[in-house]
Structure 1
Amino acid sequence: MSAAGESAWLRAMPWAFVLIWSTGFIVARYGMPHAPPMSFLALRYALSILCFLPWILLAGVRWPASRTQALHLAVTGMLMHAGYLGGVWAAVKAGMGSGLSSLIVGVQPVLTAIWLSSVAGQHVSRRQWLGLVLGFAGLVLVVSRKFGAGGPGDQASWLNLALALLALLSITAGTLYQKRYVQACDVRSANTVQLAAALVVTLPLALLEAEPMRWTLPGGAPNVELIGAMAWSVLGLTLGGSSLLYMLIQRGAAASVASLMYLVPPCTALIAWLLFAEPVTAVTLAGTAVTAFGVSLVVRVPKRAG
């Protein structure tokens, strides 16, 4: 790839990640009614590993340089795959609406900035703090219409709140841990190690679930919604989205990468409008604009003097 092409790809990576990651709730909407969360995720991890392994072998990709690095990757896999995805999917399955779950997980950029500034000793500028606050305010506006709808997906309990908080802490800790301890490694082998660790954690939980995965409809026809949700989860979200997230964390500042999560709910709202004709209100548009402006303040590279 030429230098110009590589530069263009690097600029497009954050937006490609946001677009792909935003389909996660769409996948949940299609797949969740037909499968228990841990079983779905365990199968997703296993199929993703089966996709990566031939690619790694054929391309001659190197594995992590040491057992220590493999262990660090395993920790991030348990946090960012098993903890984050498992927490979100289990919370939604337990009755939490997508609005509340998005809002709770959306605190991640703020937690990341607090950790960086108070514990890790890294500087978070006033402009970035303003961007984080504006981004969260915009997120509240975007998901506000999801509250109070009175449906079964708007129920909060101690169980699903705890699961959503687990997801929040997992994605925050995983992002910070990877940025601190994981050295440069090919994204394909790194992702495979992460997925294997997530599978080790998730599979025992899946075996405890009594609900079956409904691959066929009552009349015997293939369940296209579940099959499609699984296919996109593997090919799009894991091979695409998770790989992009790994590369973004390795290349960028933790606070800037985390702030991209603010853009996921607005993008999800747009996709839901296109696919399901869900209304996009003036409040949603205003929240999207505020969120985008806030994120721009966080990720903007300051101009150097002279």
Structure 2
Amino acid sequence: MAQDDGITLIDTGYLRPRLCAAYLVHGEGGRAALVDCGTAPCAPRVLEAIDAAGVARDTIDWVLVTHVHLDHAGGAGPLMQALPGARLVVHPRGAPHMIDPSRLIEGARRVYGEAMFARDHAGMLPVDAARVVAAADGHVVPLAGRPLRCTDTPGHALHHYSVWDAATRSWIAGDAFGLSYRELDTARGAFAVPTTSPVQFDPEQMKASIRRMVSEGPAAIRVAHYGIVTECARLADDLVARVDAMVAIARGVEDAEARHARIVDGLTMLYVEAAAEHGIDEPAQAVAAVLGGDIEINAQGLGVWLDRIAKTRGD
């Protein structure tokens, strides 16, 4: 747990250390807001971190979830039960799934299987509709002395917003500004790749969202996976170029039966080459160790996107 400019980074403990972050934003008079919250099994750890930050649970006024993927919003139900004064701020497309998470639970069980679901996601709870605020584009959350603006940033998901904190001129971006793990930092700065996980990846929307965020001239961007990055303009250019490269890899696969494996191979080669250019030691090993799971998920999302555009064309 680390605090910077009145924002405390909380490691949610999802799967491994320094994989998934939530952010505690400190307002005036001890009031606070929590942005993203990890999965349901992460909720006790997040609550312990709030306590360790010296923030009373009844002074958390807002819980904001950038989108309703389970590593960002799965813990919202248990946390709302433990934070009696909080209201939940969620994209209008995601609000129904927080009030009734049954479809999220069903989908997670289908994707992960019962054993993995029980280990990583069990314990999701509904949130009382009276405590849910649907945040349309531009919605301002009135944290005491520190308003937070929710800005639509689709591309990773249609139900995604990012949070602008004018006090620090920074974004809390969820997954809209890609993945940037601290293990891959070098003397050249942070290394970032897009996250194209299923099922709503859209390359043009993703690039537009990245450009929209960087157009504010942010001093920093806080990503969920993982931590704070600067050099935002350079990283935005890298991310946009890598979206195009990833799409080209997916489009270039002709063997339908081996499509997923070919996309995985193409993404791995792309990231290893980029890691080498970035000065990362032993790039092949580093990419496998740090990005292996994300490569699999990104390939799945690209496959879903290919199927969607083929269906749209009537192929």
Provide TM-score, normalisation by structure 2: 0.26
Higher relative contact order (CA 8 A, sep 6+): 1
Kindly indicate which of the two structures has a greater share of residues assigned to helix.
1
Kindly indicate which of the two structures has a greater share of residues assigned to strand.
2
Provide TM-score, normalisation by structure 1: 0.27
